[in-house]
Structure 1
Amino acid sequence: TVKQATTQAALRDLWIGHIFWVRNVALETMDGNSAAAKAAEAEVVSNAKQIAASIEPFYGKAGSDALMDLLVGHYGGVKAHIDATATADAAKQAAASRQLTANAGAIADFLSGANPNLPRATVNSLFIGHAAHHMEQDQQLKDHKYVEEGKTWAAMRDHMYVIADALTDALAKQFPDKFN
């Protein structure tokens, strides 16, 4: 339907915004430009609020707030990995990886619990893959491997489309009256 296509486009845009602004945080952190990294980080937070707000019409304020908490946790792990990569701290990188994996499970628990059309294993896999893209990109930026990072960016973009499309399809199935 038109409403489903509009929702899909909006969710794709929001999730692409996430990787765009996080990439800027990573790039500026690796370059030692703390002012630019801080500005990009403000956009990461703004984008997370928009993503969380996008589910409020379906799951209410409590659902939106719960997703926001999970997105804060996701970004906490991403930022910890960026910082650990910038300083070449392997132990902190490993800790950030564990944090991102745990957060992927928490996001999967929330989304699959809210929507029966989102199997937990699928959502968990999607968000673990997403975290892996962030971590790969961080290292490529740190190592100035920009050709490889360009390929990772393309994979990240396509992966964000898969996440946005899965969410849209699940919402349309769970709330058909809102999509007619």
Structure 2
Amino acid sequence: MTFTAAALIAASIAPSISNAAVKSEGMKVSMQLAPTADARQQVLTQSAVQFSKEMRRLWIEHILWTGSYIVSAISGLEDQQQVLSRLLRNQQDIGNLFKPYYGDAVGNQLTTLLQQHIMLAGKVVDAAKAGNTADLNKYNAEWHKNADDIARFLAAANPSWGFKWLQDMLYTHLKLITDQVVARLKKDWEGDIHAIDQNEAHMLQFADVLSDGIVKQFPKQFQQ
């Protein structure tokens, strides 16, 4: 894949993340936008700790299988569909984690939104690989709109999660996925690894805020 395709995706997506809370040095996420609740300062019960671990595990899987799909899609590997199926199942697992607290309808809707996030990411990757500017711009815009939809949906579910903070976190997630795609198209393997490391740390922060918000909202379910 030519450098032109890599430059194309970087130039196309950069304007869409201007509001994301990302510092230029090392892609460090600004913590000033995080919710100001007393998250992580409380003494967590065993059930709350276990819930937090599960939330972290699922979002790390999100990064793992997203990265695996990017490798398969860009390289045209035979396992692309199998990896995609596993990645989509991860989104279902995340939605299922929310069901005991918000109900099946909310969990299923979250799964739908997250699976749309994955399918749109695949279209962005395909357009970048093909060097198709029109499709890249189209699917990148839809990808960010989907992030807005996820942020709006989560913010409505829990008062501890502000829409702007969620939006910034999700936009940063998209930027780091984009960094990985660009690095692989350029065969910049160190850049690829760096983007994955950054995205893992970023999504662990995201997972912690989600789990803390749920524990705070439903304290009776985390008493043991």
TM over 0.5: same fold? yes
Matched, 1:66 2:109: yes
Q: Which residue of 1 aligns with 2:65?
A: 21
Q: How many angstroms apart in 1 are the aligned matches of 2:193 and 2:121? A: 19
Q: How many angstroms apart in 2 are the aligned matches of 1:108 and 1:19? A: 18
Between 81-90 and 159-168, the greater mean CA deviation after superposition:
81-90
1:100–1:128 Cα contact (<8 Å) kept: no
Amino acid of the residue matched to residue 82 of structure 1?
V
Q: How many angstroms apart in 1 are the aligned matches of 2:222 and 2:55? A: 15
Q: Which residue of 1 aligns with 2:86?
A: 43
1:77–1:99 Cα contact (<8 Å) kept: yes
Superposed displacement of residue 104, structure 1: 1.0
Decide which of 55, 60, 78 is 1:11's aligned counterpart: 55
Question: Relative contact order (alpha carbons < 8 A, sep ≥ 6): 1 or 2 greater?
Answer: 2
Q: How many angstroms apart in 2 are the aligned matches of 1:148 and 1:72? A: 26
User: Structure 1 regions of 5+ residues with no counterpart?
Assistant: none
Decide which of 168, 176, 188 is 1:125's aligned counterpart: 168
How many pairs does the alignment contain? Answer: 179
Decide which of 179, 196, 207 is 1:153's aligned counterpart: 196
Q: TM-score, normalised by structure 2?
A: 0.77
Secondary structure in 2 matching 1:55? helix
Q: How many angstroms apart in 2 are the aligned matches of 1:163 and 1:91? A: 32
Decide which of 130, 145, 166 is 1:87's aligned counterpart: 130
Q: How many angstroms apart in 2 are the aligned matches of 1:12 and 1:94? A: 32
Runs of at least 4 residues of structure 1 off by over 3 A? none
RMSD after superposition: 1.1
Amino acid of the residue matched to residue 27 of structure 1?
V
| Per-residue Cα deviation, 1:6-26 (whole angstroms, up to 9, x for no partner) | 111111110111111111111
Secondary structure in 1 matching 2:103? helix
Amino acid of the residue matched to residue 26 of structure 1?
I
Q: How many angstroms apart in 1 are the aligned matches of 2:172 and 2:51? A: 23
Superposed displacement of residue 90, structure 1: 2.7
Matched, 1:170 2:170: no
Between 54-63 and 75-84, the greater mean CA deviation after superposition:
75-84
Q: How many angstroms apart in 2 are the aligned matches of 1:97 and 1:178? A: 39
Identity of aligned residues (%): 24
User: Structure 2 regions of 5+ residues with no counterpart?
Assistant: 1-43
| Per-residue Cα deviation, 1:57-96 (whole angstroms, up to 9, x for no partner) | 0111001111011112211221111111221223322222
Q: TM-score, normalised by structure 1?
A: 0.95
